[in-house]
Amino acid sequence: MRGFDPLSFEAEVVGRLRSEIRGEALAAVSGGVDSAVAAVLARRAVGDRLHAVVLDTGFLREGEAAEVARELGGVLDPQVVDLSAEFSAAVSGLSDPEEKRVAFREAFYSALAGLAGEVGARWLVQGTIAPDVIETVGGIKTQHNVLEQVGIRSLERYGFSVVEPLRDLYKDQVRELARHLGLPRAVVERQPFPGPGLLVRCLGECTPDKLGAARAASGVVEPALLALGCSQTLAAALEDGGRERPDLAREVGVEVRELDARATGVKGDQRRLGKILVVSGVDYPDAAAPVRGELLAAEPGAVRVLMEVDRWGGGRLAVAARAVSTEDFMTAEACLPPPGVLGEIAEGIRRRVPGAGALYYDLTPKPPATIEFE
């Protein structure tokens, strides 16, 4: 962070954008700080020639597209465009996390190509930051907003040139810039949310019932766990079921089940899919960390240890809640909320998430898990 001066950065970038963008430009804002800052810099450079849109991909949280449009109303006046049918068709039948991300990226740029054509835009302003490029080029995960760096020629393929004023910055610098630019606090402080949104938080295929469960569960889990002061919190939906693992149960002295679904983890710098273990009957919170450690040592193929918080049956799906504390998002520790908070969340899920019959809480640090439950 030392050496970063938002005032001179702004002046330099606005000047550069003014000479680079010679006609109409388009910017898709997600409500996140990166895309908002990039769009505001472009608006300062080219004024009303910058057209801002909020793409409702269908994978946003409840009411999120309208909320983002409202938050950025006075600053960027973004138009909300409903593309949920297009995105849903693009990812239909896919269950591998990386395949879903790549299909999402394609749908995202195809949609933007159409919108750019409508307003005659030949430039696309986006909030790609340094870690997005590093992770995508490094094969860690495909970020939806990285194109040229992986050899996709945007002008030839989509008809616009990509402008990335933040491509050398890190998140803390972007937040500092956002404060300097006077962006609304809700935007500056917003917790990270993947570009493909709830698509990644539906494990396996993102069926309509799973998506509905992930969305409703986010509305219960996120406010409850954010209040604890963790860095990031989320809810995911997955198929329940699986098989008992008596071998592991003997080792740790509580019931252990292995789910059929797989989830992403990290080993070294690489992502991998691994097993999800569910423990029940744990003396929480005291025994949570020791049990988790023993299980991960006993089953090296596992990337997640979940604790069963409550089970009421009557649902094919389960909700997994997660909250982590982290400095840099490269490693993270699982937060352990008070039991009463988990009980309240379970009650909320039971009432508000049709199709879900159980609540699990993710005890896994990164590594071996990723922060997202993907």
Chain centroid to CA 80? 20
128 binds ligand XMP, rule: CB under 6 A? no
Q: Closest distance between ligand XMP and the C-beta of residue 127, in Å?
A: 9
Chain centroid to CA 347? 25
d(CA 174, CA 3): 14
116 binds ligand XMP, rule: CB under 6 A? no
64 binds ligand XMP, rule: CB under 6 A? no
372 binds ligand XMP, rule: CB under 6 A? yes
Binding segment toward ligand XMP, per CB under 6 A, in 173-181, 210-218, 333-341, 363-371: 363-371
How, if at all, do strands 232-239 and 317-325 pair?
A: antiparallel
Helical packing angle, 33-46 and 6-20, nearest 10°: 60
Residue 59 or 158: which CB sits closer to ligand XMP?
59
371 binds ligand XMP, rule: CB under 6 A? yes
194 binds ligand XMP, rule: CB under 6 A? yes
170 binds ligand XMP, rule: CB under 6 A? no
Select from 31, 97, 165, 195 the one that contacts ligand XMP (CB under 6 A).
195
367 binds ligand XMP, rule: CB under 6 A? no
232 binds ligand XMP, rule: CB under 6 A? yes
How, if at all, do strands 302-311 and 243-244 pair?
A: unpaired
Tokens standing for residue 191: 């917790």
246-270 burial, b at 16+ Cβ within 10 Å, e below that, comes to eebbebbebbbbbbebbbbbbeeee
Residue 195 or 274: which CB sits closer to ligand XMP?
195
Residue 38 or 282: which CB sits closer to ligand XMP?
38
Residue 100 or 350: which CB sits closer to ligand XMP?
100
Tokens standing for residue 276: 């999800």
Binding segment toward ligand XMP, per CB under 6 A, in 191-199, 254-262, 282-290, 339-347: 191-199
User: DSSP string covering 299-315, please?
Assistant: -TTEEEEEEEEEE--S-
302, 209 Cβ separation under 8 angstroms: no
- Which residues of the shown chain bind ligand XMP in the complex (CB under 6 A)? 141, 143-144, 192, 194-196, 232, 329, 366, 370-372
